[in-house]
Amino acid sequence: MSEVSMEELKVIVFQLQDEEYGVSVDQVRSIERIQHITRVPKTPDFVKGVINLRGVVTPIINLRSRFDIEEMEYTDSTRIIIVSVEDMNVGLIVDAANDVIDIPVNAIEPPPEIVGGIEVNYLRGVAKLDKRLLILLDLNYVLDRDELKEIKALEATM
Amino acid sequence: MERNQYLDMFIDESKDHLQSLNDNLLKLESDPNEEAIISEIFRSAHTLKGMSATMGYDDIASLTHQMENVLDGIRNKTVQVTSEIIDTIFSSVDALEEMVEDIENGGSGKKNVIAIVSELERLEKGESANEIAAGVDTLPVNTIENSSYPTYDDFELTVLSQSQEQGYHTFYITIRLREDCILKAARVYMVFQVLEQLGEIIKAVPPVEELEEEDFDNEFTVTLVTKDTAESVESKVLKVSEIDSVDLVNIDLNKLSASKGNEQEIEEQDSVSEPVSVVEENEGVVDTSKGESSTKASGKTIRVNIDRLDNLMNLFEELVIDRGRLEQISKEVSSKELTETVEHMSRISGDLQNIILNMRMVPVEQVFNRFPRMVRGLAKDLNKEVNLEIIGAETELDRTVIDEIGDPLVHLLRNSIDHGLETTEKRVTANKNPQGKITLKAYHSGNHVFIDVTDDGAGINREKVLEKAINNGVVSREIGATYTDEQVYELLFASGLSTAEKLSDISGRGVGLDVVKNKIESLGGSVTVTSGLGEGTTFSIQLPLTLSILSVMLVEVQKEVYAIPLSSVIETAIITKEEIFSAHNQKVIDFRGRVVPLIDLTHFFDVPETVEHGDFYSIVIVRKGDKMAGLIVSSFIGQQEIVLKALGSYLTGVFAISGATILGNGEVALIVDCNSLIK
């Protein structure tokens, strides 16, 4: 619909700590309230377990601990964003999710070296909008299964 | 869209018929004179021809048409069944399969079939030329020589000649009712009913109207076009009571046209006794062949896309969760009417669940079907004599497993024939039956289905495998020397290992058993090998019965719910603290005279401790093979049928957890994998 010069990216905006993050709408399947999560033993700490998402068992990871931010109690605004990457459906626990915005593609800049302590690999870029700074996540890295295995192997040796 | 809908049907049905062709051709090869088999083959080919012509696939139609001609020759005994003919028909079937596959993949289904067609033509004519005159009819039926027919008009004649071309028999049937028959019209009606089920009545003398008004003596004649044999037609008509005699005559159209115009005459009655006695002899044969025929299942089934079943299953799952909620609500509200309604709904949905799950189960036969043919081909190529025995083809497996299991089995069979079985000469020198034997056996055991591929060949040569593995760098010489036989056999599944000394087309292209192993494991199964030198080798595949249903024992570990598959559970017990001993830092109990190690699931799964432990321990005794273990849990909840769900592809290979399930309250419970708990 939009003109070529004004290409836009529709993103879901969510909060972690004091920062605002964005994931492309294409990768988001739904946003859920927090619900009972069944713990799965012998998995990395950031894997909170699995939930029943309308009949499909869906793994849930806490994005705070995934990014080494201190975990906090779930509140009324805590949400689970169900994202779909490749053949995986995974739920991400975030502090709040309340916005869908269009950002012009030319407002996206490559990520600075370190943002909010998050390893640069996980980032797709940073979007500057008026007074907001939006960090765009690269979910392929956030949900990298090889890394999950490495972490598992590491924890097994400990 | 319309055409597409028919296309799916065409493809499915064509495959069925091709399978039936394959099966029956194999049967025919071992029993070349069995008419029932030939008719079955003929029917398949004929239906294929009709369908493909309707759909506009001319190459298929022309090939099947020529096949039909040869088959007709066989049926009429003008063509002898030879290995050459069977081979040619097989290759025609191959060509047909290719074409159907092409159509399935969106192609035009075109293929150059001229070579095969002319080969078929040669076969048809080659041997038939000198016999055609004499051998038209060797069926135990009176051929009309002297007797006459009713007069047929041109239309009827056309119908008759077309039917004959299409492989129908034309019978001129004289039926005589008993003298004391009271309701003649009723009998006539019954006879007509029987005949109409068998085929088509072309003409009746006297005409039907007169028959209905009982305007005839005790005798009437009909002309019937049918695919049934004379014997079966006769026996079926004779089942109608108050029939004195039935006399069948096979009409030869060539003579018919010659005798056209002759006056109608009625058959002499004495000729009855002979065909009847034949009927009794052959009845059994006809019946058994009916039982085996592949047409038996048709008519009562519909085809459903597996996606739809999956959808149904998923929707049903949501229903089950809501049911759980409703049950809870009804307990809280405690209204009698609500409780009753909810209970009723629960029962019905329970039945529904069974039906849905059963719909997904199909016999493994579907996969096994194509193997006899494949084995035959391989054996010929390799110049080995192979006898394939299939046991337990009726064993049922979930459809999704069935779809995936074909390729690994093909691989194992090829492997067994190529590498497992020795050459005929070697077998003779080893004092074995020159014909090698491959057994394909499927059976249920617990929650698993086992499929064994066994050969009675030379067995696995440990040294050869080791040597090869060492050369390929799979294992070092030092470590290899310490391996047990089982460990050496395991090496067969390592990638890049083929033990045949020389590469062949059949298998041994370097890729192989490792692919099999990966495939089976991705289905949640496992492969094991056992072998005896000089006695043969068995590859045993263990597969989950279904990917979706499981009987489990639900237990509580602190506040968490876990499911333990009933197939692993031996029994549950409650023991006191004093009964637990310690051996080598391992808690054990004395269970019916055996020392059984205990695993405390609270510690094992790092469950947060919220429940104080009393003096009694609840224990679930589980097993893996003949090893046992006792799992300490907090309490037993009960036995339940659950639906197995994967943990999601993000979480693969979680230790000691084989999957998850959704409980009545909508929460997820994890399924304990006892096999990895017991070492």
Query: Has B265 been annotated as catalytic?
Result: no
Tokens of residue B460, six digits: 């696995």
Which member of B321, B604, B657 has the closest CB to residue A40? B657
Does the CB of B321 have a partner CB in chain A at under 8 Å? yes
Residue for token pair 């005409």: B207
One domain for residues B521 and B481: yes
**How many Cβ atoms from other residues are within 10 Å of residue B443's Cβ?**
13
Distance from CA of A145 to the nearest CA of B (A): 7
Task: List the one residue out of B616, B609, B603 whose CA is nearest residue B677.
Answer: B603
Residue B133, domain member (yes or no): no
Q: State the pLDDT at residue A118.
A: 55
Which member of B314, B607, B668 has the closest CB to residue A50? B668
Q: Do B648 and A40 touch (CB under 8 A)?
A: no
Q: State the pLDDT at residue B98.
A: 84
Distance from CA of B423 to the nearest CA of A (A): 47
* pLDDT level of residue B146 (50, 70, 90 thresholds): very low
| Closest chain A CA to residue B645 | A57
Which residues in chain A are closer than 8 Å to B652, comparing Cβ atoms? 145
Burial classification of residue A54, based on how many CB atoms lie within 10 Å of its CB (0-12 exposed, 13-18 middle, 19 or more buried): middle
Q: Is the pLDDT of residue B269 over 60?
A: no
Highest mean pLDDT range out of B154-168, B445-459, B641-655? B445-459
For the stretch B629-669, pLDDT in tens is 999 999 998 877 777 787 877 887 788 888 888 887 778 99
Q: State the pLDDT at residue A60.
A: 94
One domain for residues B238 and B117: no
One domain for residues B403 and B528: yes
Does the CB of B16 have a partner CB in chain A at under 8 Å? no
Q: What CATH number is given to the structural domain containing B576?
A: 2.40.50.180
Highest mean pLDDT range out of A38-47, B136-145, B254-263? A38-47
Task: Report in angstroms the alpha-carbon separations of B663 from A52, B317, B318, B349.
Answer: 9, 10, 11, 15
Which residues in chain B are closer than 8 Å to A39, comparing Cβ atoms? 560, 607
Residue B223 to residue B173: CA distance in whole angstroms: 6
One domain for residues B451 and B531: yes
| Closest chain B CA to residue A147 | B650
Query: Has B490 been annotated as catalytic?
Result: no
One domain for residues B503 and B538: yes
Question: Which residues on chain A place their C-beta less than 8 Å from a C-beta of chain B?
Answer: 36, 38-43, 47, 49-52, 54-59, 87-90, 143, 145, 148
Q: Do A59 and B606 touch (CB under 8 A)?
A: no
Q: State the pLDDT at residue B548.
A: 62
One domain for residues B432 and B489: yes
One domain for residues B534 and B640: no
Q: Do A42 and B314 touch (CB under 8 A)?
A: no
Q: Do B667 and A36 touch (CB under 8 A)?
A: yes
Highest mean pLDDT range out of A138-142, B36-40, B438-442? B438-442
Distance from CA of A88 to the nearest CA of B (A): 6
Domains along the sequence of chain A with CATH: 4-157 (2.40.50.180)
Element (H, E) at B81: none
Q: State the pLDDT at residue B297.
A: 41
Q: State the pLDDT at residue B545.
A: 66
Q: Do A52 and B668 touch (CB under 8 A)?
A: yes
> Of B267, B291, B316, which one is at a domain's C-terminal end?
B267
Tokens of residue B321, six digits: 């969760």
Average pLDDT over residues A81-89: 88
Task: List the one residue out of B38, B73, B66, B40 whose CA is nearest residue B52.
Answer: B66
Q: State the pLDDT at residue B566.
A: 83
Q: What CATH number is given to the structural domain containing B494?
A: 3.30.565.10
For the stretch B218-228, pLDDT in tens is 788 888 888 77
One domain for residues B554 and B540: no
Q: Do B660 and A38 touch (CB under 8 A)?
A: yes
Does the CB of B652 have a partner CB in chain A at under 8 Å? yes
Q: What CATH number is given to the structural domain containing B201?
A: 3.30.70.1110
For the stretch B349-404, pLDDT in tens is 888 877 887 787 888 888 888 888 888 888 888 888 888 999 988 888 887 788 88
B100-114, B148-162, B407-421, B456-470: which has the minimum mean pLDDT?
B148-162
Q: Do A59 and B662 touch (CB under 8 A)?
A: no
Q: Is the pLDDT of residue A141 over 50?
A: yes
Residue B451 to residue A55: CA distance in whole angstroms: 32
Highest mean pLDDT range out of B130-139, B237-246, B338-347, B543-552? B338-347
For the stretch B88-128, pLDDT in tens is 888 888 888 888 888 887 777 777 778 888 888 887 776 44
Q: Do B605 and A56 touch (CB under 8 A)?
A: no
> Of B217, B235, B267, which one is at a domain's C-terminal end?
B267
Beta strand segments in B535-656, E: 536-544, 549-557, 560-565, 569-576, 580-583, 586-591, 594-600, 616-624, 627-633, 635-643
One domain for residues B537 and B568: no
Tokens of residue B498, six digits: 């083929």
Q: How many CB pairs under 8 A join A and B?
A: 79
Which member of B314, B656, B668 has the closest CB to residue A38? B668
A48-52, B111-115, B534-538: which has the minimum mean pLDDT?
B111-115
Q: Which of B22, B69, B142, B415 is catalytic?
A: B415
Q: Predicted ipTM?
A: 0.84
Query: Has B415 been annotated as catalytic?
Result: yes
Q: Is the pLDDT of residue B207 over 50?
A: yes
Average pLDDT over residues B258-267: 43
* Sheet of B526-532, strand order: B386-391, B436-445, B448-455, B536-544, B526-532
One domain for residues B9 and B88: yes
Q: State the pLDDT at residue A147.
A: 66
* pLDDT level of residue B478 (50, 70, 90 thresholds): confident
Q: Does B141 or B327 have the greater pLDDT score? A: B327
CB proximity list for B472: less than 8 A, separation 6 or greater: B496, B497
Distance from CA of A114 to the nearest CA of B (A): 27
One domain for residues B578 and B465: no
Q: Does A30 or B78 have the greater pLDDT score? A: A30
Distance from CA of A6 to the nearest CA of B (A): 36
Domain with B327, as residue range(s), is 307-360
One domain for residues B234 and B341: no
> Of B544, B577, B592, which one is at a domain's C-terminal end?
B544
DSSP state of B289: H
Q: State the pLDDT at residue B255.
A: 58
Instruction: Return the SS3 of B594.
Output: strand
Residue B159, domain member (yes or no): yes
Alpha helix positions (H), A81-144: 139-142
Cis ω on the peptide bond leading into residue B206 (within 30° of 0)?
yes
Does the CB of B317 have a partner CB in chain A at under 8 Å? yes
Residue B21, domain member (yes or no): yes
Percentage of chain B lying above the pLDDT 70 cut = 83
